[in-house]
Structure 1
Amino acid sequence: MVLGLMIVAPIVSVVSEFSAGGGTGDLLLLAGKWFVFWAVGVRLLTAGLSQILRPGFTASSILGTNPDRSVFQIVQELGFANLGVGLIGILSLPLSGWIVPAAVAGGLFLGLSGIRHIAKPGKNTKEWIATLSDLVVFLVLLAFVLYVWISGAS
């Protein structure tokens, strides 16, 4: 699911829109639009809902802690933040002025999370996939934000 939402779906959306000739012909602007929608919007919104509704799952399978109720509040509060950023990412599709702010917030979150996860010893395959996809999305969004900032494109 992580690879699908963070890599496959955005690439398919970029290729589809570019091939159809809709919108801009600028691939980096299309990448920004669709990576924000899928990787920041849909991915963080679904992660947030999972963390809010199933904090024990996140605590045990992702954070590697015992699903002790004492960590549920922290996991759920992370879920609230993910839900908020994810919603901004999703709303950036109809509200194009939100794409760059969502790319900055979501890209920074994913990039810092990916960097933090690199240092974690004993990662399983799921954690490696999440780490690498976080870093790939961060690099795409960084390139997009720098491009918009330097070129003035929108």
Structure 2
Amino acid sequence: MYLASIVLLMVVLPLGSLGAEWALHGGALAALALKWFVFWAAGARLFAAGVKQVKDPLFTSQSLLGVPDPKAAVLVRELGFGNLSIGLLGLLSLPFPSFLVPAAVTAGVFLALAGVQHAARGGGNAKEQIAMISDLGMAAVLGLLVAATLL
């Protein structure tokens, strides 16, 4: 379920939305890609992660990070507040296009740092490996798309 949600929100839905809009209306591919990757991969994914972390913080602390102490729930819930905030910015970039680059930069930096943190912990379980790869990969995608759109 975790991997499926990552693939759906970070690959299938952004590429599907990009393809549909480009087929119907055309436009600059980099700008359209930035729009849809920010909305789905930064907005929907981080917002959904925030909801999960606020509602069920033990999933992240125990299942993803392997921290068995229930006291970690307080910190994970606060991480969830950050994810909700960044995710909301990404979601709002669709009706408010001026939010697009700030959302991409904010989410990209957050995902890059989170990915580096996962890597620094070493090994980790399969879910943490998925988080690390998806975080670092999406940070790179967002960075490249921002650069391609602004340059």
Q: TM-score w.r.t. structure 1 length?
A: 0.89
Find the counterpart in structure 2 of residue 27 from structure 1: 29
Q: CA contact under 8 A between 1:55 and 1:72: conserved in structure 2?
A: yes
Find the counterpart in structure 1 of residue 122 from structure 2: 121
Q: Secondary structure at the match of 1:119?
A: helix
Find the counterpart in structure 2 of residue 42 from structure 1: 44
Find the counterpart in structure 2 of residue 85 from structure 1: 86
CA RMSD of aligned residues (A): 1.4
Find the counterpart in structure 1 of residue 10 from structure 2: 6
Q: Report the CA distance between 1:130 and its aligned residue.
A: 2.1
Q: Report the CA distance between 1:44 and its aligned residue.
A: 0.4
Q: Report the CA distance between 1:67 and its aligned residue.
A: 4.3
Q: Structure 1, residues 67-123: CA drift from partner, whole Å, max 9, x if none?
A: 41x211111110001001101100100100000000000011111211222233233
- State how far apart, in whole Å, the 2-side matches of 1:77 and 1:50 are: 12
* Higher relative helix content: 2
Unaligned runs of 5+ in 1: none
Find the counterpart in structure 2 of residue 142 from structure 1: 143
Q: TM-score w.r.t. structure 2 length?
A: 0.90
The residue identity in structure 2 corresponding to 1:88 is L
Please tell me whether residue 16 in structure 1 is matched to residue 16 in structure 2. Answer: no
Unaligned runs of 5+ in 2: none
Find the counterpart in structure 2 of residue 61 from structure 1: 63
Worse-superposed segment, 129-138 or 27-36? 129-138
Q: Report the CA distance between 1:61 and its aligned residue.
A: 0.6
The residue identity in structure 1 corresponding to 2:30 is L
Q: CA contact under 8 A between 1:31 and 1:140: conserved in structure 2?
A: no
The residue identity in structure 1 corresponding to 2:12 is V
Q: Secondary structure at the match of 2:95?
A: coil
The residue identity in structure 2 corresponding to 1:38 is W
Query: Identity of aligned pairs, percent?
Result: 46
